[in-house]
Amino acid sequence: MADQQLIEAAAAQLRAAGESGVPCSPIRDLLGTETDIDVGYAVQELNVNLSIESGRRVSGRKIGITSKAVMEQVGVDQPDFGTLFIDMEFGDGVPIPAGRLMQPRAEAEVALVLEHDLDHGEHGFNDILAATAYALPSIEIVDSRIADWNIRIVDTVGDNASCGLYVLGGKPVPLRNVDLRTIPMQMDIDGEVVATGEGAACLGHPLNAARWLADVMSQRGTPLRAGDVVMTGALGPMKPIAAGSSVSCDFGPLGTVTTYLEQNEK
C-alpha cells in the first residue's frame, strides 16, 4: 500500500485537474504502482468523501471494465466502480455544457434504478431482480482527468472510474417487460452509427454486473440503497465526442436516449 501522503498527493492532483480543466500526468507515476487497485480506491475514496463533505449528493454508482477485452487491456480480472453524484445526471435530450468535460467519450449502457436496498453481503441474481424498480436506456459520458487517456487500472480507479456525466432515458421499463441479456444497442454520433452491441456484452448480462457491484459495495460498508442509479457498464466500445456532437442510443425494447454536447462554459 502506498504511503498516505502519496495517496493524498494523488487525490489533490486529480482535484486540481478537475477544477482547472487541464488534464494531469498519470497518478501511477506518483504512487509508484500500476496494478494496486486498493491504492486506487484509497485515492478515489478520499476525493469522494471530500465531495460529500462539500455538499454533493450521491445518486448511485457506476461499473466500469465489464468486457474481457478491456480487462486484458488494463491487466485486471474484475470490473471497477465509481460514485455518481446528482450534479452529474442529465435527462433525455437535455443539452450538456461542453465546458463540464475535458476528454469526453460516450458509452451506451443499461441503467438500473433500485427500489430496495442491497445490503445482504452476498447477493443472488434474484436479489438484483427483486430490488430493481426499473431499467432505463442511458449514456455515460466518461472522462479522464489523466492527459491523453494514458491510464492503467490505478489511474482510472483513483479517478473515480473515469466518471464524467450520465444521461438517463425518460421511460422506465420494469424488468419483467424486457430481457436485458438480449437487448440490442446501436449508438449514433451526429447521425452516423459508431457502435453496436447487446446486453450480453456486459459480463454476460447487465444484472451480473449489478450483482458484482452489490456484493462489493456491501462488503465495503457502503451498500447500494433504494433510489440509487446503477450504471451497469458499456454494451459496446466508447467513442470520443466534442462540442457540437449529438449522441443517440437505441436499445430496441428498452427504448432510446439522446444527448447533445453544446459549447458552453462550466
Q: How far apart, in whole angstroms, are the C-alpha atoms of residue 187 and residue 234?
A: 11
Q: Where are the beta strands (DSSP E) in the chain?
A: 58-64, 80-85, 89-91, 95-97, 105-114, 132-142, 165-168, 184-189, 192-198, 229-234, 239-240, 246-250, 256-262
What pLDDT score was predicted for residue 78? 80
CA gap 204, 224 in Å, rounded: 21
The CATH number of residue 132's host domain is 3.90.850.10
pLDDT per residue as tens digits for the range 22-37 = 999 999 999 999 889 9
**Domain annotation covers residue 2:** no
The total of other beta-carbon atoms located within 10 Å of residue 72's CB is 10
The alpha carbon dihedral of 122, 126, 81, 170 has a sign of: negative
> What per-residue confidence (pLDDT) applies to 135?
98
Backbone angles phi, psi at 20, to 5 degrees: -90, -20
Q: Find, among 174, 158, 159, the residue nearest to 41 by Cα.
A: 158
pTM: 0.95
In a domain, 65, yes or no: yes
C-alpha to C-alpha distance for 32 and 152, rounded to whole angstroms: 12
Distance CA(164)–CA(185), nearest Å, equals 21
pLDDT tens for residues 182-202? 999 999 999 999 999 999 999
- For residue 229, the Cα-to-chain-centroid distance in whole angstroms is 10
Please indicate, yes or no, if residue 19 is contained in any of the structural domains: no
Residue 14 belongs to some domain of the structure: no
Residue 16 placed within a domain: no
* Within-domain flag for 33: no
Cα separation, 103 vs 99, in Å, equals 10
Q: Identify whether 87 is part of a domain.
A: yes
Is the model's pLDDT at 264 over the cut of 80?
no
Specify the number of domains making up the chain. Answer: 1
Task: Give dist(CA 14, CA 20) in Å, integer.
Answer: 10
- Residue 4 falls within a domain, yes or no? no
Q: How much is the pLDDT for 195?
A: 94
CB-based contacts of 70: which residues, under 8 Å, 6+ apart? none
Domain range for 144 is 57-262
